[in-house]
Amino acid sequence: MAGKKVLIVYAHQEPKSFNGSLKKVAVDELSRQGCAITVSDLYAMDFEPRATRKDVIGALSNPELFNYGMEAYEAFKKRSLASDITDEQKKVQEADLVIFQFPLYWFSMPAILKGWMDRVLCQGFAFDIPGFYDSGFLKDKLALVSLTTGGTAEMYSRSGVSGDFRYFLWPLQHGALHFCGFKVLAPQISFAPEIASEEERKAMVTSWAQRLRTIWEEEPIDCSPPWYFGQ
Amino acid sequence: MAGKKVLIVYAHQEPKSFNGSLKKVAVDELSRQGCAITVSDLYAMDFEPRATRKDVIGALSNPELFNYGMEAYEAFKKRSLASDITDEQKKVQEADLVIFQFPLYWFSMPAILKGWMDRVLCQGFAFDIPGFYDSGFLKDKLALVSLTTGGTAEMYSRSGVSGDFRYFLWPLQHGALHFCGFKVLAPQISFAPEIASEEERKAMVTSWAQRLRTIWEEEPIDCSPPWYFGQ
C-alpha cells in the first residue's frame, strides 16, 4: 500500500538462495505497491549477534556486576547504545510492518537473527515493565515471520516427528514479537525447498508474492496460549 | 560419579552473576564426585555465533550457491571445518553429559549459545539423514538445560501470561537436543533470581548443587509431543 514502510530483516548468506528469492519478490511486490522498503541484510552487514559490554558506549551503571539487560536499558535512556543497535531501532521505529526472512536453524532463528532480537529489542525501546505483550511499545506495528524449513510439512504436523510447526513458532511469535506488542500476521512457511522440484519452488515464491498483494488487508493472528495450542 | 566426563556450555558475560554461581557450584559438586569437567565459557572465548563461509577451510563444494548446512556437512567429512568448531565437537564427543547454563533471552538461548548449536551440531557430526531423533549420533549422551528467567514461575505456568515453560523448551530440548539423539534430563529452571531475595537465590543455588549429587541416577524425560503438551 502506497506510503507504508516495511523493514525486512533478512538472514541468509547467499543472495541466490531460495530465501534470497523470497526476499527479492517481497521487495519487488511491496515496491510496486509504493511502499518504502528497508532491508537489513544481516550477513552482508556482518551484524554482531553477541550481547556484550561493547553495546554500551562510555561508563556502565554498575561495572562491578555486569547485567546486560539492565545496562542496555540504562544506555537506551541515556542514548549511549552502540550505533549498530540504534540504527536498527530507528528502522523498526519507522516501519509499519517488519518481515523476518530466514531459514529455520534448530527449530529457531539463525544465531545472527537471534542476536538482532537480543540486542535491538531492548527494554525502554521495545517494552518496559510494565509495558509488554498487548501494551508493548511496538503495538502499532505488524510483524510477519517468513521462513524455510529443512523438514516437510508432514514432519511438522501434529502427529509428525517434529510436531506442529506452531510449537516452534511460540518463542518467536509470542515470546519475542507479541511481548514487544507487535501484531503478528500469519507465518509464511515454505516447507523443504531443498527437496522440492524447481516447479514447486517457483510456486512457493509466487504464492508469497501473491499473498503480499493483499497483506495490508490481513488481520493479526491470536498469539495467546489456549488458542495457540488448539485447546 | 568418578570417571564421568561433563561439558558445561556456559553463556553469561559476568562471572559474579547468578548464572556464574550456578556454573561454579556445578563445577565444584561434579569435581567433588571425581568427574572430569570442561567448561566452554562462550563470552570469555568470544565464541563466533555467525554461520558463514569462514567455517569451511579451503574450497567449497559449490561456490556458486553457498549452502551452509551442505558445506558444513562436506567440510566435516573432509575434516576441513574451522578449528573453533572442531574443538567444541571434540569436547562434546568426549562428554557423557552436556549442561547448558544460560539466562533465557526471548524465550530462548542467547545468540552466542544459539550460534554454538548452529555451528557445532552439524550434519555428519551430530546427526545425518537418516540418523536423527532417537537415532541421532549423540544418543549415548545426556543433556541438561539449566536456565534462569526474568519472569516468575507463575508467569510461566499454563494459565500464566507467558504460558507453560515447557512451550519455550520445545525447540531447544526436542528440536535440537533430541534431534541429535541426546537423552534429555529434566530442565533446571531458576525463576526470576533478579527479583528474589538473597536467601531465595541461595536456596536456588543449593537446590541445583543438591540435585547434581544424584544426577547420574536420573532417568531422561520423554521429549515426544503428546506427553510434552500434556495431551
Place B115 in a pLDDT band, splitting at 50, 70 and 90.
very high
Name which of B9, B112, B156 to mutate to probe chain A: the one with the most chain A Cβ atoms within 10 A of its Cβ: B112
Q: B226 or A51: whose pLDDT is higher?
A: A51
- Average pLDDT, stretch A140-158? 95
For chain B, give the number of residues: 231
- pLDDT of residue A160 exceeding 70, the answer is yes
Task: Please give the share of chain A, as a percent, with pLDDT higher than 70.
Answer: 97
Per-residue pLDDT tens digits for A175-196: 999 999 999 999 999 999 999 9
pLDDT at A159: 82
E strands in B150-221: 183-184, 188-190
What's phi and psi for A187, nearest 5 deg?
-70, 150
pLDDT at A4: 98
Place A214 in a pLDDT band, splitting at 50, 70 and 90.
very high
| Closest of A145, A138, A59 to residue A94, by C-alpha | A138
Q: A192 or B223: whose pLDDT is higher?
A: A192
- Average pLDDT, stretch B70-80? 98
- pLDDT of residue A225 exceeding 60, the answer is no
Nearest CA in chain A to B52: A13
The answer to whether B40 and B85 have CB atoms below 8 angstroms apart is no
The answer to whether A133 and A9 have CB atoms below 8 angstroms apart is no
Place A1 in a pLDDT band, splitting at 50, 70 and 90.
confident
Enumerate the residues of chain A whose CB falls inside 8 A of the CB of residue B195.
none
A168 touches B at CB < 8 Å: yes
Q: For the purposes of burial, counting CB atoms within 10 Å of the CB of A127, is it exposed (0-12), middle (13-18) or buried (19 or more)?
A: buried
What's phi and psi for A133, nearest 5 deg?
50, -125
| Total domains present in chain B | 1
pLDDT at B223: 77
- Average pLDDT, stretch B75-79? 98
Question: Where is A9: in which H helix or E strand?
Answer: strand A5-10
Q: For the purposes of burial, counting CB atoms within 10 Å of the CB of B166, is it exposed (0-12), middle (13-18) or buried (19 or more)?
A: middle
Cα B188 to the center of its chain, rounded Å:
12
- Average pLDDT, stretch A145-174? 92
Task: Please give the share of chain B, as a percent, with pLDDT higher than 70.
Answer: 97
CA distances (Å), origin A6, targets A26, A121, A221 = 10, 17, 19
CB within 8 Å: B49 and A115: yes
| Closest of B207, B208, B228 to residue B164, by C-alpha | B228
| Closest of B33, B76, B11 to residue A51, by C-alpha | B11
Place B230 in a pLDDT band, splitting at 50, 70 and 90.
low
Domain boundaries, position B155: 5-229
Place A164 in a pLDDT band, splitting at 50, 70 and 90.
confident
Q: What is the DSSP code string of B102-161?
A: EE-BTTB--HHHHHHHHHHS-BTTTB-SS--GGG-TTTT-EEEEEEE-SS-TTTTSTTST
Report the CATH number that the domain containing residue A172 is assigned in CATH: 3.40.50.360
Which residues, listed in sequence order, are joined to residue B148 by a DSSP beta bridge? B103, B190
The answer to whether B186 and B165 have CB atoms below 8 angstroms apart is no
| Predicted complex ipTM exceeds 0.95 | yes
- Average pLDDT, stretch B110-118? 98
pLDDT at B226: 53
Q: How far is A156 from chain B (nearest CA, A)?
A: 11
pLDDT at A230: 54
Omega before residue B193 within 30° of 0, cis: no
In this structure, what DSSP letter does residue A182 have?
Answer: P
- pLDDT of residue B154 exceeding 70, the answer is yes
Nearest CA in chain A to B42: A50
- pLDDT of residue B28 exceeding 70, the answer is yes
* Residue-wise burial string across B18-43, b where 16 or more C-beta atoms lie within 10 A, e elsewhere: bbbbbbbbbbebbeebebebbbbbbb
pLDDT at A228: 55
- Whole-angstrom distance, CA of residue A144 vs CA of residue A30: 14
Q: Which residue has the cell 556456559?
A: B10
- pLDDT of residue B113 exceeding 80, the answer is yes
CA atoms within 13 A on the CB side of B11: 27
A176 touches B at CB < 8 Å: yes
- pLDDT of residue B98 exceeding 60, the answer is yes
